[in-house]
Amino acid sequence: MSTAPIAFLKGHGTENDFVIVPDPDNAIDLPATLVARLCDRRAGIGGDGVLHVVRSAAHPEARHMADEAEWFMDYRNADGSVAEMCGNGVRVFARYLMHAGHVTAGDIAVATRGGVKPVHLAKNGDVTVSMGRAALPEAGVTVTVDGRSWPARNVNMGNPHAVAFVEDLAHAGTLYTEPPYAPAAVYPDGVNIEFVADRGPRHVAMRVHERGAAETRSCGTGACAVAVATARRDGVDPAETGVPVTYTVDVLGGTLVITERPDGQIEMTGPAVIVAEGHIDPSWLTEPAV
């Protein structure tokens, strides 16, 4: 590990917070142990994950997308594991690009492990991300918390989700650890688990246990999965009606607006904020983890 200072920023989208590491040339080594230390809320900077900002042409996983998107979101979970996508992360990533002067308000494209995501940056601070289409595998699971069990709908937004409808969000328990689900083979690489309660017509609230991060204040892909699962529960499929459907999804950190269009494309709109920037102390980088 180099002893040179590493620049960082801190940002959040509906209080799903991230350490942002600008690294256009992909010159910084970010092993899982360092990512976990950066995300440690007591001994590090603190965050639900790391947004490693790299030019697509400089990253081996993104070079094939360089013609479509200049920038690649190399996203890592708080435990250091690699993730396919993070909806709130894309919004914060795009807001950083604007903050740094790499892009201006309007339409841009961001490369992710879940594909290239079109993004619209509004001048009022809201960011809209085209999240792609949801896949709805038939195999589902049963999620259990404190003796209560619920069937969970399998929704894939580039990353896996299990959506369970509950009467009260308190039934989700503490969510310090991943709620058990069965059969486990449905999600061989783990899963994000959403608990959902109704709040009104086309309006729900959710809590989420994110794979690799425990409970978070918000999850963008999770909100999209929840909107799709709720629409199907309500007997609504825009592909059949030809009419877009929009759900308001309350998360612990705010509110996201999710629209599913007749062609299956899902759009997520919400805020993204940059709150701080600075440099990581070089001596801290070389200290052994406690």
Catalytic residue among 131, 134, 219, 225: 219
Mean pLDDT of the chain: 95
In the chain, domain spans: 6-125+273-286, 141-270
DSSP state of 287: S
Cα 45 to Cα 220: distance, rounded to the nearest angstrom: 22
DSSP track, 44-86: SS--SEEEEEEEGGGSTTTGGGTTT-SEEEEEEETTS-B-S--
List the binding residues for substrate. 16, 77, 87-88, 159, 192, 210-211, 220-221
Strands 265-271, 245-251: pairing kind: unpaired
Q: Rounded to the nearest 10 degrees, how much is the dihedral formed by the CA atoms of 256, 18, 50, 195?
A: -40
CATH architecture of the domain with range 6-125+273-286:
Roll (3.10)
Residue among 180, 201, 198, 200 at smallest CA distance from 190: 180
Summarised one tens digit per residue, pLDDT across range 182-231 is 999 999 999 999 999 999 999 999 999 999 888 999 999 999 999 999 99
What is the dihedral sign for C-alpha 254, 40, 94, 155? Answer: negative
Task: Answer yes or no: is pLDDT of 61 > 70.
Answer: yes
Q: From the candidates 19, 51, 83, 86, give the one annotated as an active-site residue.
A: 86
Output the CA torsion 9→280→15→86 (10° steps).
70
6-125+273-286 matches 141-270 in fold = yes
Q: What mean pLDDT is predicted for residues 238-261? A: 98
Full-model pTM: 0.90
DSSP-based helix, strand, coil % in the chain, nearest 5: 20, 45, 40
Given 3.20.20.140, 3.10.310.10, 3.40.50.10420, 3.40.50.970, which CATH number is that of 141-270? 3.10.310.10
For the cut 80, the answer to whether the pLDDT of residue 23 exceeds it is yes
Query: Is the model's pLDDT at 2 over the cut of 60?
Result: no
39 belongs to the catalytic site: no
Residue 219 among the catalytic residues: yes
